[in-house]
Structure 1
Amino acid sequence: MSDLKDFLEKRVRVISTDARLFEGILQGYDKSTNIVLSDCIERIIYSEANEPNQEIEMGLYLMRGGNIVCVGEVDEEQDDELDWINIKGDTLKGTKNPL
């Protein structure tokens, strides 16, 4: 968790335990790795060529630490070259174990 301080006020990507992808500016976090993202969007990437990807604006978004798999800083230069609407990919599997 101490490494999150290096990401404060920077654009990050977050993958959740239910395989969702979020992107936003890290505004804060706590000892439980609960995080606050501003200007947050959720990216939905489809594997089917005929289904358009989506970007859903979430605004200010709070994520519980128990729902976070990883947080990484966005390389803005590399990100500018990506066409997120047309990228296709396989569906990620959730990371939670069945009860």
Structure 2
Amino acid sequence: MSSLKEFLEKKVRIISTDARLFEGTLQGFDNSTNIIVSNCIERIIYPESDEETQEIPMGLYLLRGGNIVCIGEVEDPDPVDWSTIHGDDLKGTKNPL
């Protein structure tokens, strides 16, 4: 958890348990790894046969720690050309009861 301190005020990429991809500037976090992200966007990546990757502006966004799989810093400028990225739907990370 203390390792998140190094990401404060930096651009991060977050993957959630329901396979959503978020990017933004990490503004804060707590002991439960709930995080606050400013200038947040959600990226939606489609299979090759569908449309290009979509960016949905979310603004200031709060993500619950229990819904976060991983957080990592994004290089500036971002080396990924998102218009060329395609993929398949990801399965959820939680097992059904």
- Which residue, 92, 95, 98 being the options, matches 2:96? 98
Secondary structure of 1:5 counterpart: helix
Kindly provide the CA deviation profile for residues 27-57 of structure 1, in whole angstroms up to 9, marking residues without a partner as x: 0000000000000000000113332221000
Partner of 1:87: 85
AA of the residue aligned to 1:83: D
Number of aligned residue pairs: 97
Once residues 26 and 6 of structure 2 are traced to their aligned partners in structure 1, the CA distance between those partners, rounded to angstroms, is 10
Structure 1 stretches of 4+ with a deviation exceeding 4 A read none
Measured after TM superposition, the shift of residue 86 of structure 1 is 3.0
Once residues 50 and 15 of structure 2 are traced to their aligned partners in structure 1, the CA distance between those partners, rounded to angstroms, is 25
Once residues 19 and 3 of structure 1 are traced to their aligned partners in structure 2, the CA distance between those partners, rounded to angstroms, is 23
Partner of 1:6: 6
TM-score, reference length from structure 1: 0.91
Secondary structure of 1:92 counterpart: coil
Alignment of 1:57-68 (within 5 A): 57-68=57-68
Once residues 4 and 80 of structure 2 are traced to their aligned partners in structure 1, the CA distance between those partners, rounded to angstroms, is 25
Secondary structure of 1:23 counterpart: strand
Stretches of structure 2 that go unaligned for 5 or more consecutive residues are none
Measured after TM superposition, the shift of residue 91 of structure 1 is 2.1
Measured after TM superposition, the shift of residue 87 of structure 1 is 1.3
| Contact 2:45–2:86 (8 Å) recurs in 1 | yes
TM-score, reference length from structure 2: 0.93
Cα RMSD of the aligned pairs, angstroms, is 1.2
Measured after TM superposition, the shift of residue 75 of structure 1 is 1.2
Q: What is the identity percentage for the equivalent residue pairs of Structure 1 and Structure 2?
A: 72
